[in-house]
Amino acid sequence: MLAALGGLAVPALADAVGARPRFVYGGDADFAPFDYLDGDGRPTGFSVELVRALARDAGVDLEVRLGGWERVRAGLDAGAIDLISLSHSDERVKVYAWLVQTWTMHQCVLFPPGRPVYPGSPGDLAGHTIAVQDRTAVAELLSGMEPPRPLLVTTGTQSEALRLLEAGQATGVGGNSLTLRLAASADGMYNLVEMPLQEVPYGLMARKGRRDLDWVAQSMARLRGAGTVETLAERFLAVPAPRHTWRDYAIYIWPLVGVVAAVSVGAVAWNRSLHRKVRSRTQELRASEKKYRDIVDSSPVSIHQARPDGTLVMANPAFAALLGYPSVEEALRIDMARDVWIDSSERDRLIALYEPVGRVADLEMQVKKKDGAPTWVQMTATVIKGPDGRTLCFEVFSRDINERKIAEAALRDSEERYRLLFEGNPLPMLAYDVESLRILAVNEATVRLHGYSREELLDLTVSDLALPDDENLARFLATRFDPRPDVVHVGLRRQRRKDGSTVEVDLTSLAIGLAGRPARLILTRDVTAERRVMAERERLQEELRRSQTMSAMGALVAGVAHEVRNPLFSISANVDALESELGGPGGHTESMRLLRSQVARLSRLMQDLLDYGKPAVLNRTATRPADLVRRALRSCGPLAREHGVTLEQEVTPDLPELELDAGRMDQVFENL
């Protein structure tokens, strides 16, 4: 996805490796005579050839890309295109850098002939429906007029705008006078009435901040001095003359035939005055026919006339080049049904369908070239009929759209791959507009993660998914327009789901462009379960460390207890021996008792230490609570009597037996 935006050449890098700098010029393929495709599908036109001459003069490499106007503008905004020809306007110079003027555009609105009254100024356009190509200078001018203003109908190309005018769906068509009239003449629309709007400079523009395009103005100055600009203008910017048909000639031919017939029967006297008029009219006809033939022969659009049986009446060089024939003479010998149509029955079907109508426009189909290779063409055909109503021939205008069809197929394939990569990706992904923060696209994994439907997510902004108390949110909102790398690892964040619960995610942000606007793609990794597992692992590790520490302490204490118990056994044995040797009551009796009690106390302490140093093993047996109390009283009786304390036993009868370790419970009661 990011690679699609990386077409901008970097001259500094090219210089570093010794290569010539490379630049890309983009233009509208439907903007003759400035930018268009010739009969072989090659880019040409005044602007195309001028930029090529500039590149040759500057010693740089140039690639020319012609296509749909919206895609070309999007390519310029995304950095895939370096140069573009635009009419100058205040709004455009806010976005783009004006490099050099190449021509002056006469912007206007054209109206069909035959109206009783025509608007005289832009203020008179209120109430009119004007067709205009979208995102053009004329569209910007008319949409920015103060009310009352005309109703605008925007189209993808100026040819589509002209078709709306021809179909009566618009009262006028807006655009540049020269390009509109040339496109109109190709469709047989002449004598259109022009209402001027304004004259504006037309020239080369680029994205702001480009420091590697100084050669454009420098080379332009040299080409103007050499007369190259004027030569190209004479070659491409001549206004076409009207196209004439046999009906136009009939206006002059029939009177001439009548005169000749009258002379032959002696009905009319020949005189010099009439002879001069006939000769003058004949010369006019020859001049008009030559002009018509010159226009047809030099037209970049393929033109031919074919009879219903498939044989050709006429064809121009663009027709021969379109089908791969070296000359018009060879092309005139072909049979359209056999040599051009892939399926001749399809030709019969279309003739049956459109012959009663009289015309078909913008029919896209595949035909065969001379070598048998298929190619896509766009055809507009008109039925030419004789006085008796029979079809004489079909006049067809064709345009090579093979590259466009290939590009469209590649685009569909690219979109399908994008859909699989985006929609089928198990990682949650969403795209948002940098300026408005509005979510533009989400995949199914994002829907599952946040619990919203796709429609609900597309009504939110990315800030709606953040927690209100997230300290990173305010910093993000304040710095989102700051320059940053194309790929940014945002890190761990907490986001909220539709049900109010939170989810911990790891975010990565990538810069992209959608519909010509800056946007970013967010890749999300749900780490909630991972963080929970990590926390549990840390808890278990802490318990293990504590258990290991206690085990080490227990082993140490057990060792000490074993070492102390041996001297205690010796002391206890010696006390017994002394008591036997001394015998009877005396002053040593109390000392012996104290010594024996302290030995017993140390022995219990050592036993406790030994118990601490080894794992606890409970010896559970069925025990009556009353027995525990009696044994405790018996153990504590001597100590109680010694201190003058009376112990009494109160045990509720019929208590059930309990499963417990009687020895440990005896110790508990003794400690109490």
Exposed, middle or buried: residue 464 (CB in 10 Å: 0-12, 13-18, 19+)? middle
Cβ-contact 522, 462 below 8 angstroms: yes
**In the structure encoding, which two tokens stand for residue 98, read together?**
């004006």
Extract the tokens encoding 117.
């009254």
Residue 521 burial class via C-beta count within 10 angstroms: exposed 0-12, middle 13-18, buried 19 and up: buried
Question: Is the sign of the CA dihedral 541, 543, 546, 552 positive or negative?
Answer: negative
In this prediction, residue 13 carries a pLDDT of: 33
CA distances 188 to 22, 162, 183, 395, Å, are 41, 11, 9, 11
Q: Rounded to an integer, what distance in angstroms lies between the CA atom of residue 672 and that of residue 665?
A: 11
Residue 130's SS3 state is strand
pLDDT at 238: 66
- Reported as half-sphere exposure (CB side, CA atoms, 13 A), residue 489 has a value of 4
> What CATH number was assigned to the domain covering residues 246-404?
3.30.450.20
The DSSP code for 535 is: H
The one-letter amino acid at 267: A
Contacts of 200 (CB under 8 A, 6+ apart): 87, 88, 89, 104, 105, 107, 137
pTM for this model (two decimals): 0.38
CATH number of 527-615: 1.10.287
CATH architecture of 424-525: 2-Layer Sandwich (3.30)
Ranges under pLDDT 50 in the chain? 1-17, 241-254, 256-257, 259-271, 275, 278
With contact defined as beta carbons under 8 Å apart, do 509 and 525 qualify?
A: no
pLDDT value of position 281? 57
203 burial class (0-12, 13-18, 19+ CB within 10 angstroms)? buried
CA angle, 298 as apex, 295 and 303 as ends, to 5°?
80
Tens digits of residue pLDDT in 530-568: 777 777 888 888 888 877 777 777 777 777 777 777 787
What type of residue is 521?
Answer: L
Question: Is there a contact between 304 and 314 (Cβ–Cβ < 8 Å)?
Answer: yes
Distance CA 487, CA 508 (A): 7
Span 559-616, pLDDT tens digits: 777 777 778 778 878 877 777 777 655 566 777 777 777 777 787 777 777 766 565 6
Say if 3-236 and 424-525 have the same CATH topology: no
Q: Which CATH superfamily is domain 3-236 in?
A: Periplasmic binding protein-like II (3.40.190.10)
Q: Where are the domains of the chain?
A: 3-236, 246-404, 424-525, 527-615, 617-672
pLDDT at 292: 62
Dist. CA 144–CA 569, nearest whole Å: 111
- What spatial distance separates the first Cα and last Cα of the chain, rounded to whole Å? 77
Beta strand 83-87 with 312-315 is unpaired
HSE, side-chain direction, 13 A CA sphere, residue 291: 14
Residue listed under structure tokens 């010896």? 619
* 334: DSSP letter: S
Closest CA to 495 of 517, 533, 466: 466
Backbone angles phi, psi at 410, to 5 degrees: -65, -35
Facing residues of 384 across strands? 393
pLDDT of residue 300: 86
Q: Is the dihedral of CA 266, 269, 272, 278 positive or negative?
A: negative
